[in-house]
Amino acid sequence: MAAEHQTKRRRGIYLLPNLFTTAGLFFGFFAIVSGINGDFHLAAIGIFIAMIMDGLDGRVARLTNTQSDFGLQFDSLSDMVCFGLAPALVMYQWALGDLAGLGTVWSKLGWLGAFTYAACAALRLARFNTQAGVAEKRYFQGLPSPAAAAALASMVWSGAALGLDGSVAKVVALVATVTAGLLMVSNFRYYSFKEFDFRYRVPFIFLVALVVIIAFAAIHPPVVLFVGFLAYAASGPALTVLRRRRQRTAVRRGR
């Protein structure tokens, strides 16, 4: 009887972390529906809430020791919907679909740009899953899919908050969508912030900086988020260039 009871327990799934993953999947789907209905600010907010849920499910699983292969696969599939399909479809509904007004070729470029982003997100997630056990914890290889989704979502949210029609920025939106997709599958390294631990003491200036950031973000949250995630997306190529220059300088000095 004990062995049978243990087998039944092993066949089950952990509820708490998968509950957060399901909530993230819900808001990702909500973002898609909102984008189709033209509620772009709600679509963007849905993607950001999905980001929060994605950050919580893994932490909850580690804190409660409820990690599982099922949770890993479920989280990856949820990420594909929330940070792959949702941003691509929302961006298409907001701006890329309006490229049809420039001609047949531009019309194809619109949906191909959205597809490129979605495909790159799938490739990024697949690469991350296969390298999870050997990748360096301090850095991500390629722009993380949640950050790429946040960059596009904050762009849409900023436009909606400022009363800008997506058709005005359709070409810029196309460039941003394709660039975000290509950065996800690039070899640029991005700081992961995984080594940052809130349990340890930090200098007082960190708290002051946090207060300044919160106050600045309160001025206009969509624009501040867009600038912040745009800067993070640009940090990968910038850090790569700086690292290569240092390597070349070290080689020259070694000679």
Structural domain contains residue 235: yes
Q: What percentage of the chain reaches a pLDDT higher than 90? A: 52
Is-contact 27 44, C-beta < 8 A?
Answer: no
User: What tens digit of pLDDT does each residue of 6-26 get?
Assistant: 444 455 667 788 999 999 999
3-class secondary structure, 140: strand
Is-contact 155 96, C-beta < 8 A?
Answer: no
User: CA 153 to CA 30: how far, in whole Å?
Assistant: 13
Look at the chain and report how many structural domains it folds into.
Answer: 1
Structural domain contains residue 183: yes
Instruction: Pull the structure tokens for residue 213.
Output: 């950031």
Structural domain contains residue 5: no
Structural domain contains residue 161: yes
Domain with residue 51: its CATH number is 1.20.120.1760
Max CA separation in the chain (angstroms): 73
User: CA 192 to CA 144: how far, in whole Å?
Assistant: 9
Q: Does the pLDDT value for residue 68 go beyond 90?
A: no
User: What tens digit of pLDDT does each residue of 87-133 get?
Assistant: 999 999 999 999 988 888 998 999 999 999 999 999 999 998 888 66
Q: Does the pLDDT value for residue 5 go beyond 70?
A: no
Whole-number pLDDT of residue 7: 46
The domain containing residue 135 runs over which residues? 13-194+202-254
User: CA 36 to CA 73: how far, in whole Å?
Assistant: 28
Structural domain contains residue 2: no
Structural domain contains residue 110: yes
104-130 vs 145-161: helix crossing angle, rounded to 10: 140
145-161 vs 170-184: helix crossing angle, rounded to 10: 160
More confident residue, 133 or 222: 222
Structural domain contains residue 1: no
Structural domain contains residue 121: yes
Q: Could you tell me the CA-to-CA distances from 77 to 16, 28, 85, 201, 207 in Å, in that order? A: 17, 11, 11, 36, 36
